[in-house]
Structure 1
Amino acid sequence: MENYSTTTLKMTRVFDVAPERVFDAWLNPEMMRKWFFTLEGTNKVAQNNPQVGGSWEIVDHREGKDYRAIGEYLEIDPPNKLVFTFKMPQFSDTVDTITVELKELSKGCEMTFSQNIIVPHEESWTKSDIEKALGEYHDGSEHGWNLMFMGLKELVETGKVSYTG
């Protein structure tokens, strides 16, 4: 794929728990199935091999369709940093890179999330088409992650997610 642009989504969240608890929620399949691209009631697959070079996979079933997200772990430094690839093969060949950094605070921790988003171009696109697509990919991703991070916060702070979609 030679014709594409990238945009970076950066988000910060604060949790009232130790960074180890948040880090674990990114890697523990029983926790992942409750918030990470899926919800417990719609999750079909939540599996991973949490080591550098290992893979992860989530399959969520919504409105009669399976949605599959996959990736590979690039860096794992508990409980400080996690870097992995993200791909949804049914929608695109693009592979985004996600970095999660956790910093201990006097009470709880701060998570800084960044996603390097690949936006493929269509042949006829003008510069304004590209800028519009970059904005749409960024805003759409931000909306999705915001909903997931609400579930993540509830999960790590209370042990369960009440949001059902």
Structure 2
Amino acid sequence: MSTAKTNRRHETQIAADPALPTILITREFDASPERVFRAYTDPELVVQWLGPRRLTMKIDAYEARSGGSYRYVHREDDGTEYGFRGVFHEVRRDERIVQTFAFDGFPDGVSLETTVFEDLGGRTRVTTTSLMGSIEARDSMIRSGMQGGVREGHERLDELLAGRPSGDTA
């Protein structure tokens, strides 16, 4: 791996505590908390990075404010769709987002996600803690392949923040 600042590559860390129904996702980005937060809350930017490259994203609703809600669909080339929805419980500009997250294919499997944006002096550490209803639900989420989608989405976010195209978008 290169150590040059312009080629610095951050890896997404994903961990599941064996004793708790949680997933911890940590990633650093070479951009300010303001820019990263905007990429997480502006639907015109979210559609450009969230999820794997092979999927097209369509946002039905995305009101990133305390009390707002969201619903979006990722679509495969063959027409298969994966819908997601939730409610933004707390949105604190450039600091924190607390939201629910549910996959339409498993509507009773709602998780509570807290995302924190930490200023590292020109860089930002984003830490997301997802709390599931059970360890079994957490393990099912991990088995779904979510790690690959999260990592690829973070790579796309790096590209967006650097001003490079991140692949096909809706």
TM-score where L is the length of structure 1 = 0.76
Name 1:30's counterpart in structure 2.
Answer: 44
Gapped runs of 5+ residues in structure 2? 1-18
CA distance in 2, matches of 1:144, 1:92: 19
Name 1:150's counterpart in structure 2.
Answer: 155
CA distance in 2, matches of 1:6, 1:69: 24
1:157 CA drift (Å):
2.4
Residues 30-109 of structure 1 aligned to structure 2 (within 5 Å)? 30-37=44-51, 42-62=56-76, 63-109=78-124
Name 1:18's counterpart in structure 2.
Answer: 32
1:7/1:134 contact within 8 Å kept: yes
1:13 CA drift (Å):
1.0
Equivalent position SS for 2:83: strand
CA distance in 1, matches of 2:54, 2:38: 17
Change in 2 beyond 3 A, CA 1:38/1:59? farther
1:111-159 deviations in Å (ceiling 9; x for gaps): 1112113358xxxxxxxxx5xx754533633332122211122212225
Instruction: Select between 140-149 and 63-72 the one with higher mean Cα deviation.
Output: 140-149
1:138 to 133, 139, 142: 142
Name the count of aligned residue pairs: 149
Structural RMSD (CA): 2.7
1:100/1:112 contact within 8 Å kept: yes
CA distance in 2, matches of 1:118, 1:105: 32
1:96 CA drift (Å):
0.7
2:33/2:124 contact within 8 Å kept: yes
Name 1:125's counterpart in structure 2.
Answer: none
TM-score where L is the length of structure 2 = 0.74
Equivalent position SS for 1:10: strand
1:81-136 deviations in Å (ceiling 9; x for gaps): 0111111123332111111101111231111112113358xxxxxxxxx5xx7545
Name 2:12's counterpart in structure 1.
Answer: none
Equivalent position SS for 1:152: helix
Name 1:123's counterpart in structure 2.
Answer: none
Instruction: Select between 147-156 and 70-79 the one with higher mean Cα deviation.
Output: 147-156
1:16/1:107 contact within 8 Å kept: yes
CA distance in 2, matches of 1:67, 1:38: 12
1:7 lines up with 2:21 in the alignment? yes
Higher-Rg member (1/2) = 1
